[in-house]
Amino acid sequence: MSIHLTVFGDPIEHSLSPILHYAFAQQFGIDLLYTKTHASKEVFSQMLTEFYSYGGIGANVTVPLKEHAFELCTKVTDAANLAKSVNTLKWQDEQLLGTNTDGAGFVQDLTVNHHQPLEHQTILLLGAGGGARGLLGPLLDQNPNMVYLANRTFERAINLCDEFDRDNLVPMDFERLDVLDQKIDVIINATSSSLNQDLLPIPDFMFVDSFVYDLMYSETGQTPLTQHAKLRGARHAVDGLGMLVEQGALGFEFWFDKKPETQSVIRALSQQVT
Ligand code: NDP
C-alpha cells in the first residue's frame, strides 16, 4: 500500500511539492501517494486529524498555515522552535512532530548549489514574515559580518531582531535604506512583493556586484527583483526554486531517514517551469 503524504495550504493549486517528492521517492523505490489539500486556517486542525485517521503519515505545510502548524505540534525540533513555524509534520508514537526546513534549505541552496558563502558577508534581508523568520536562525549560524533586516512594517523588523537578539542583526527602515552607505554582499528577498510584481525600495548602488536571492520562484526562473538586479549590476540573481527543492529534501529525510539527491530534481523542475 502507498505511503500517503500531503501538502496543506491556501492557495495550494500552484504547489510543486508533489512533483519533487515523487522524484525523491523514485530514487529509493518508495511507493508514495502525495496529494495537495486545500485548507484554510479555520479548518486546518480538523483536516489534519482526519488525514491522520485515514492513514496519512506526514505532511508539508505552506502559506498561511506554518505558524498554526507550530502551535498544533506536541513536539518540535530546535529549528522549528527558533522559527516559531513548521513546514514539515510527521506522526510518531501518537505524537505530532514538527520541523522547519526552510532555513537549512535556503543555506544549502545559496552556499552549496550557488557557491555563495554567508560567513563574513554583509547581508540585506527584506521581510519579517514566515519566510524571513524561518531562515534567520540558519543564516545567523553562518556567522555573517552583519545582517540588516528591513521590512515594510518597521515594527515587525524591530520585533524580529529583538527576538533573535544578536549584535550582528540590525533592523532597518525600509524606505531609508540609502542611509546604509556600504557595500552589500548578499541581498535576500523574503517578502511576497514579487507576487504582485512590486519592486522594493532598494537603492541602485546596493545591487552592484551583489548576489541577489529571491525566495519566490517563478515560471520563467526570473522574478521582478532578479531582473531589476541584473540590470543594475548584480553579480548573480536567482529565484527560490533551489531552496524549494532543498527544503523538500530535508523534509523527505525527516520522514524516511533517507537523503535524496537534489541536483537532478532542480534541473528537471527548472526545465518544467520554464
Ligand atoms: P508572509 O505572508 O509571512 O510575509 C510576507 C512578507 O512580505 C512580510 O514581511 C510583508 O511585509 C512583506 N510584503 C508583502 N507585500 C509586500 C510589498 N508589496 N512590498 C513590500 N513588502 C511586502 O509570507 P512568507 O514570509 O511566508 O513568504 C514570503 C515569500 O517567500 C513568498 O513569495 C513565498 O512564496 C516565498 N517563500 C519561498 C520558499 C521557497 O522554498 N522558495 C519558502 C518560504 C517562502 P509586512 O510585514 O509589512 O506586511
H/E stretch holding 52 reads helix 41-53
73 pocket-lining for ligand 1 (C-beta < 6 Å):
no
DSSP-based three-state secondary structure for 61: strand
User: What's residue 146's pLDDT?
Assistant: 98
Q: Give CA–CA dist 89/254, Å, rounded.
A: 9
DSSP symbols for 196-225: GTPPP---GGGGTT-EEEES---TTS--HH
DSSP-based three-state secondary structure for 25: helix
191 pocket-lining for ligand 1 (C-beta < 6 Å):
yes
- Tens digit of each residue's pLDDT (9 = 90 or more) over 88-136: 999 999 899 999 999 999 999 999 999 999 999 999 999 998 889 999 9
Ligand 1 mean position, distance from CA 192 (Å)? 3
The amino acid at 218: S
- Tens digit of each residue's pLDDT (9 = 90 or more) over 11-66: 999 899 999 999 999 999 999 999 999 999 999 999 999 999 999 999 999 989 99
- Tens digit of each residue's pLDDT (9 = 90 or more) over 158-214: 999 999 999 999 999 998 999 998 899 999 999 988 777 778 999 999 999 999 999
What pTM, to 2 d.p., does this model score? 0.95
Q: Is the pLDDT of residue 272 over 80?
A: no
The amino acid at 173: D
Q: Which whole-number Å values give the CA distances from 120 to 5, 145, 147, 257, in the listed order?
A: 39, 4, 10, 33
Check if 259 is active-site. no
User: What's residue 37's pLDDT?
Assistant: 98
User: What's residue 90's pLDDT?
Assistant: 98
131 pocket-lining for ligand 1 (C-beta < 6 Å):
yes
196 pocket-lining for ligand 1 (C-beta < 6 Å):
yes
Q: Give CA–CA dist 77/82, Å, rounded.
A: 9
Residue 131 Cα: closest atom of ligand 1: 25
Q: Whose CA is nearest to atom 25 of ligand 1?
A: 131
Going by C-beta distance under 8 Å and a sequence separation of 6 or more, which residues neighbour residue 131? 102, 190, 215
